[in-house]
A = this chain, B = another copy of it.
């Protein structure tokens, strides 16, 4: 009678399952991301992944060859689009270098660092020993590309005399590390320490941006004594 089904007239029993070949992979990856992030690789049971995706255990194996494959797919699927979006954004922008740099950092934070995706970095780092291949993928396809992107912004700024000349290679790490580490922290330690009265993210972010821009600010061409220091 009050059947939740969609056949109001007929009292057809609701189908035990639906055929949704297209949607399944995405649902499985979403479920897996949640659980991997929450519990880590080893502590995540495929039963739970399947249950959260609303399918049975066997179905999972129709789409992924096993736990490892699922894990790799989760990482690839969630991370790659992001880096590609970043690359598009930078390529299309024609703003001043300082502005572009600030926007990059803030966008990185809002679309990755502040999200659940940051946990993926944590996962990859934690499981690198057990998934060297995945670690390589991550280093080459994500970290290196992100660094190249940031590097290209800085180099452009330097070339156009918007930034002072710097050791780009070393600087990139210095500019990214505070964001990356804070992101990881917020996904792992922080949820366990509700009282950890940390400096708010915004303040950290502002300070970081200011700090980076200051470090890149062109030296005053003045006659000033500061050049001597």
Contacts and interface: CB of A to CB of B under 8 A. Distances in A.
Given A178-B177, A191-B128, A167 B226 contact: no
Contact of A174 (B196, B207, B229): B207
A207 B136 contact: no
Interface stretch (A19-27, A49-57, A101-109, A137-145): A137-145
A181 interface: yes
A16 interface: no
A85 interface: no
Contacts of A217: 229
Interface size class of A (residues with CB under 8 A): 35 or more
A165 interface: no
| Copies of this chain in its oligomeric complex | 4
A61 to B, nearest CB: 13
A133 B193 CA distance: 9
Given A122-B125, A181-B177, A192 B135 contact: yes
A177 B182 contact: yes
A211 interface: yes
A31 interface: no
Contacts of A173: 178, 181-182, 199, 204
A60 interface: no
A204 to B, nearest CB: 5
25 contacts: A39-B130, A40-B126, A40-B127, A40-B130, A124-B189, A125-B125, A125-B184, A125-B188, A125-B189, A133-B192, A135-B188, A135-B189, A135-B193, A139-B189, A139-B196, A167-B199, A167-B203, A167-B207, A170-B199, A173-B181, A173-B199, A174-B208, A177-B178, A222-B227, A224-B227
Interface of A: 38-43, 122-130, 132-133, 135-136, 138-140, 143-144, 167, 169-171, 173-174, 177-178, 180-182, 184-185, 188-189, 191-193, 196, 199, 203-204, 206-208, 211, 214-215, 217, 220, 222-227, 229
